[in-house]
Amino acid sequence: MGKKQSSESNVRVLVVEDEESFVDALTIGLNREGFDVSVARDGQEAVNLFGAGHFDVVLLDLMLPKVSGLDVCRLIRAASDVPIIIVSAKGEEVDMVLMLEIGADDYVTKPYRLRELVARIRAVLRRRESIDHDHGEEDQILRGDIRMDVDARRCFIKGEEIKLRKKEFALLRLLLENPGRVLTREVLIDRVWGNDYVGDTKTLDVHIKRLRTLIEDNPKAPAHITTVRGVGYRFELTKASK
């Protein structure tokens, strides 16, 4: 995929942020990436602006004057399925599971790099697009070096087939289908095992560990399947998997 995608030329981003130093840098950086940026400086303004305009994605700071980011997220989600990316400050006590439950699509922690943020924005947009235009099950999933043939239940890394057990296949598939998205432990366990999940909570981690040994160049420093501490796992959109 090229860097300049015409479909991104008029992506409208609502930035909800009360810290001026962030607002300026973010606006300039996102403009440069081809996004149209509108800024709300408190929670109330965010809700008003959102109701009055049309946005493709919302970047939502949590600590806001007037209406909290949490409430803004709930209010927007009640009215729209626009992708919402939560931005939290480092050290802030944030219940990420709760965030995802009330409808946030992803989150980043300050200070973040613009490149990371842009990658997350593109990931939620791509995901939304694929939901909108989904004509049924994908039978091939391509993520960089990884190719999964869903119908044939086969998986290839750099062209070489890897042997996956049933649950490993299901788990990897779920991760590949949600690139850049945090999947909570509860969601992973429910979708892959359902009522079959027995034993201790380590079963999931054991499966993740095995997947890493198969798909990661360095399983001890995974670049594809990363751990989101206390929350779950995420398949990263690395340069190669975009």
Return residues touching Ca ion (CB under 5 A). Answer: 18, 61, 63
How near is the Cβ of 183 to Ca ion at its closest, in Å?
A: 27
Continuous segment of H or E residues that includes residue 226:
strand 225-228
CA distances to 168, 195, 206 from 203, rounded to whole Å, are: 11, 13, 5
Smaller CB distance to Ca ion: residue 104 or 155? Answer: 104
Smaller CB distance to Ca ion: residue 18 or 105? Answer: 18
Q: How far apart are CA 36 and CA 10, in angstroms?
A: 6
Smaller CB distance to Ca ion: residue 17 or 168? Answer: 17
Q: Which residue is nearest to Ca ion (CB)?
A: 63
How near is the Cβ of 31 to Ca ion at its closest, in Å?
A: 21
How near is the Cβ of 43 to Ca ion at its closest, in Å?
A: 10
Smaller CB distance to Ca ion: residue 47 or 237? Answer: 47
Cis peptide before 65 (omega within 30 of 0): no
Smaller CB distance to Ca ion: residue 18 or 56? Answer: 18
How near is the Cβ of 130 to Ca ion at its closest, in Å?
A: 32
How near is the Cβ of 160 to Ca ion at its closest, in Å?
A: 47
Cα 225 off chain centre by: 13
How near is the Cβ of 172 to Ca ion at its closest, in Å?
A: 37
Contacts of 117-121 with CB under 8 Å at 24 or more apart are 117/26, 117/59, 117/85, 118/29, 118/30, 118/33, 119/180, 119/237, 119/242, 120/85, 120/180, 121/11, 121/13, 121/35, 121/57, 121/59, 121/85
Smaller CB distance to Ca ion: residue 63 or 102? Answer: 63
The residue written with tokens 């890493």 in the block is: 212
